[in-house]
């Protein structure tokens, strides 16, 4: 026992060694992901070759603790040189800790989520994100629908769901709204086509109320899909990530509203179902503000530079490299992201789904409505979306409550 | 007599049903992790709860390499062994002083130590982190060893004080009459006598240190321990469940082996500290 105690203390003191380094430290939650590793490795190798005295040190943090640890580290003046951020609220909350990267953003789209009101860019997006409807072509055929002619209008979609219901093999849509994410996705998908660009901007600025006829129509449309029996029972207790998407991949539902990058996207569905069995279309809506449906798009994830870091200049150069065409090309090819860098060559992508998605990006789509409302409104919308699905509130009641939150949140700004 | 036997049997049957359900609820997660660790992701998505059809060990290989589990494993071993060793020494000395020696405010000190058991780790995270930075212990194993020692010391001192207080004072007095200094009394009398409590404490603190994520995440940011590596296998929104299951099985294995080896001491040790202090 005594020897063991002494040995333990000795071993610990011998092995305990300082690990402070002069490297550029990069925090993220993705660098350990196998499909993203080639991108991170290439960016590191190229930068270190061009700067022989520099070492890039990726530190992958557990995602669920990421912003807690990042916040503590930044507040204590010990944050990383470079860190990854989600666009929107998470990025905006950290603008004060970041350097101005506006001059490096010339070739990038999806900047809105990383910009302040003056247009200053605080992080460079590496991907863009948006919503489309994926469908299972095999289930279309089984139901007697033409898999090569997806719905283009609201009436087409309603008719397709009626045919699917008659076939009775699977629900028309799979839906996971346990966290209110389905509510977010549907709000942005419908708003993209039902609101004009001016109305979108007014909604983002808090000048268009939830109880306005235009926004209330979105809520009513969603409730109508529930009334038409598009979803399986229990959507409010099904998680969107990944129960909803696993249902789609298992062939337990015909459609799902998915993403264009990262996860729950064309590459994941192609890999599981086969590219030939996956179809995609933009979510149509009743009373569209445009001739054809619009795809909601925003900046996905992006890198910022800690303004209090020890190597701001080098860190800025590395972030510029992370967002540049060379490494991003690898990210696109291996992980299937849709790039924020417009100079990246995407002609090598062969999936029919992503070819369609890239086509719809010209001209660049409308921003995602849910990402532009305040955090308080978004939280309340997640709750109200569940109540709407349950039939516990009417669209008018939900809109009235959201108006109150909108007014309160805007008065705080 | 026969009626009493029947009644007793019936009671046993009634008790055994909730006990069986409880046992099943403990065993099922182990089965779930093992079963899914042997599936590929496609197999898992297609049939999450079914028995594995084509077992594969790829997830174990991938979990080990992707999470740098070899390096993280070493970090976990070093910090756990270091912290547990320090905890045993310090808590044994403190327990000896509080239980055997007579000095002013002895009881007050013991109460303060007991009170510190009631402060959650989360409450002191920010000042703790700033202290670690201020002392230059960030990203050092030494920092993590000291942190674990600090956080788990109150319970350890309480346990050792309770145990030593139950030993006959005559042993200490006899040693003192024989001319032993205090440190000799501790080393030659109290440590051997306190062996059951020290073993229990060692096992409990090993579990705490090995399974910790939060403290390790803050102190050892560049290197990581095993449990942080496992936590990093979870994605932002999605998780490869078979891969995570394999990681959990790998991380739990050393602790399970430790439990099997020291099962008797752990079970008997549960009662230590519950006796008169």
pLDDT of residue B270: 61
Q: Which residues contact A102 (CB under 8 A, 6 or more apart)?
A: A119, A120, A121
Q: CB-based contact (8 Å) between A242 and chain B?
A: yes
pLDDT of residue A9: 39
Q: CB-based contact (8 Å) between A343 and chain B?
A: no
- A22-126+300-323: CATH architecture: 3-Layer(aba) Sandwich (3.40)
Q: Which homologous superfamily does the CATH classification assign to the domain defined by B68-232? A: MetI-like (1.10.3720.10)
Cα–Cα distance measured from residue A45 to residue A379, given in angstroms and rounded to the nearest whole number: 41
Query: Cβ separation of A76 and B126 shorter than 8 Å?
Result: yes
A-chain residue closest to B192, CA distance = A1
- pLDDT tens digit at each of 413 positions of chain A: 444 444 443 434 334 433 334 789 999 988 877 788 899 999 999 999 999 999 999 988 887 778 878 888 888 787 899 999 988 878 888 999 999 999 999 889 889 889 998 999 999 999 998 999 999 999 999 999 999 999 999 999 999 999 999 998 899 999 999 999 999 999 999 999 999 989 998 998 899 999 999 999 999 999 999 999 999 999 999 999 889 999 999 999 999 999 998 888 999 999 999 999 999 999 999 989 998 999 999 888 999 999 999 899 999 999 999 999 999 999 998 888 899 999 999 888 899 999 999 999 876 567 788 888 888 899 999 999 999 999 999 999 999 999 999 999 888 66
Q: CB-based contact (8 Å) between B125 and chain A?
A: yes
**Chain A residues in contact with B138 (beta carbon < 8 A):** 20, 78
Domain boundaries defined on chain B? 2-58, 68-232
The pTM assigned to this predicted structure is: 0.79
pLDDT of residue B185: 93
Q: Which of A32, A75, A240 sits opposite B66 (nearest CB)?
A: A32
Scanning the structure block, which residue is given the tokens 């099922």? B28
Query: Cβ separation of B217 and A69 shorter than 8 Å?
Result: yes
pLDDT of residue B276: 44
Average pLDDT by stretches of 10, chain B with 277 residues: 74 91 93 94 90 92 81 91 96 94 90 88 82 90 95 94 91 90 92 90 90 88 84 77 92 84 74 50
pLDDT of residue B87: 96
A-chain residue closest to B65, CA distance = A32
pLDDT of residue B271: 59
From chain B residues 193-252, the ones with a CB under 8 A of any chain A CB are: 195, 198, 213-214, 217-218, 220-223, 228, 231-239
ipTM for the whole predicted complex goes beyond 0.85: no
Handedness of CA B210, B216, B221, B227 (dihedral sign): positive
Cα–Cα distance measured from residue A338 to residue A349, given in angstroms and rounded to the nearest whole number: 10
From chain A residues 9-68, the ones with a CB under 8 A of any chain B CB are: 9, 11-13, 15-21, 25, 29-30, 32-34, 57, 59-65
Q: CB-based contact (8 Å) between A290 and chain B?
A: no
Q: Which of B86, B129, B192 sits opposite A72 (nearest CB)?
A: B129
- CA triple A61-B206-B253, angle to 5 deg: 70
- A129-297+367-412: CATH architecture: 3-Layer(aba) Sandwich (3.40)
Q: Which residues of A385-395 are buried (b: 16+ CB within 10 A; e: fewer)?
A: bbebbeeebeb
């Amino acid at each position: 026992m005594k020897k063991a105690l002494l040995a333990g203390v000795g071993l610990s003191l011998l092995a305990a060694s300082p690990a402070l380094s002069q490297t550029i430290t990069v925090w993220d939650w993705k660098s350990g992901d196998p499909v993203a590793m080639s991108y991170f490795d290439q960016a590191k190798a190229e930068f270190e070759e061009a700067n022989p005295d520099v070492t890039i040190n990726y530190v992958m943090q557990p995602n669920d603790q990421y912003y807690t640890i990042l916040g503590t580290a930044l507040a204590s003046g010990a944050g990383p040189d470079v860190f990854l951020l989600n666009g929107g609220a998470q990025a905006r909350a950290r603008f004060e800790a970041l350097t101005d990267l506006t001059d490096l953003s010339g070739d990038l789209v999806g900047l809105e989520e990383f910009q302040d009101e003056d247009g200053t860019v605080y992080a460079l997006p590496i991907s863009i994100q948006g919503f489309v409807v994926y469908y299972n072509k095999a289930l279309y055929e089984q139901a007697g629908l033409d898999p090569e002619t997806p719905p283009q209008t609201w009436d087409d979609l309603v008719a397709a769901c009626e045919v699917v219901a008659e076939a009775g093999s699977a629900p028309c849509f799979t839906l996971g709204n346990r966290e209110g994410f389905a509510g977010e996705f549907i709000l942005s998908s419908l708003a993209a086509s039902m609101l004009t660009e001016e109305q979108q901007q007014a909604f983002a600025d808090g000048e268009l109320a939830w109880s306005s006829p235009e926004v209330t129509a979105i809520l009513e449309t969603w409730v109508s899909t529930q009334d038409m029996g598009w979803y399986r029972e229990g959507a409010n207790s099904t998680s969107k990530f990944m129960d909803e998407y696993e249902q789609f991949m298992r062939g337990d539902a015909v459609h799902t509203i998915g993403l264009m990058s990262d996860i729950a996207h064309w590459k994941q569905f192609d890999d599981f179902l086969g590219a030939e069995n996956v179809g995609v279309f933009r979510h149509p809506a009743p009373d569209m503000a445009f001739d054809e449906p619009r795809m909601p798009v925003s900046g996905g994830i992006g890198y910022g530079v800690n303004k209090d870091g020890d190597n701001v200049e080098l860190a800025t150069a590395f972030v510029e490299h992370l967002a540049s065409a060379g490494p991003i090309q690898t990210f696109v090819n291996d992980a299937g992201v849709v790039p924020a860098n417009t100079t990246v060559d995407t002609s090598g992508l062969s999936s029919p789904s992503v070819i369609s998605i890239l086509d719809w990006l010209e001209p660049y789509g409308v921003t995602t409505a849910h990402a532009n409302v305040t955090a308080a409104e978004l939280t309340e919308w997640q709750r109200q979306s569940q109540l709407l699905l349950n039939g516990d509130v009417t669209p008018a009641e939900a809109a009235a409550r959201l108006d109150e939150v909108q007014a309160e949140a805007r008065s705080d700004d | 007599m026969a009626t009493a036997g029947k009644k007793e049997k019936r009671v046993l049957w009634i008790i055994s049903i909730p006990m069986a359900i409880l046992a099943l609820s403990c065993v099922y997660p182990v089965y779930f992790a093992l079963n899914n660790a042997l599936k590929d992701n496609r197999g898992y998505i297609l049939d999450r709860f079914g028995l594995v059809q084509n077992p594969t060990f790829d997830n174990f290989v991938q979990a080990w390499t992707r999470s740098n589990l070899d390096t993280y494993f070493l970090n976990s071993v070093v910090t756990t062994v270091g912290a547990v060793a320090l905890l045993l020494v310090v808590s044994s000395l403190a327990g000896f002083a509080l239980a055997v020696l007579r000095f002013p405010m002895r009881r007050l000190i013991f109460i303060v130590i007991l009170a510190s058991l009631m402060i959650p780790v989360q409450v002191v995270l920010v000042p703790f982190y700033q202290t670690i930075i201020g002392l230059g212990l960030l990203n050092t194993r030494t920092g993590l060893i000291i942190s674990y020692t600090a956080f788990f010391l109150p319970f350890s001192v309480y346990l050792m004080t309770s145990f030593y207080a139950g030993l006959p004072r005559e042993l200490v007095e006899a040693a003192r009459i024989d001319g032993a200094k205090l440190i000799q009394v501790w080393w030659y009398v109290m440590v051997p006598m306190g062996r059951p409590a020290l073993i229990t404490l060692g096992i409990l603190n090993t579990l705490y240190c090995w399974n910790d994520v939060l403290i390790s995440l803050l102190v050892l940011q560049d290197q990581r321990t095993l449990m942080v590596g496992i936590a990093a296998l979870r994605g932002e929104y999605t998780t490869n469940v078979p891969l995570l299951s394999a990681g959990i099985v790998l991380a739990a294995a050393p602790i399970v082996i430790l439990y099997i080896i020291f099962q008797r001491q752990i079970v008997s040790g549960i009662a230590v500290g519950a006796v008169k202090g």
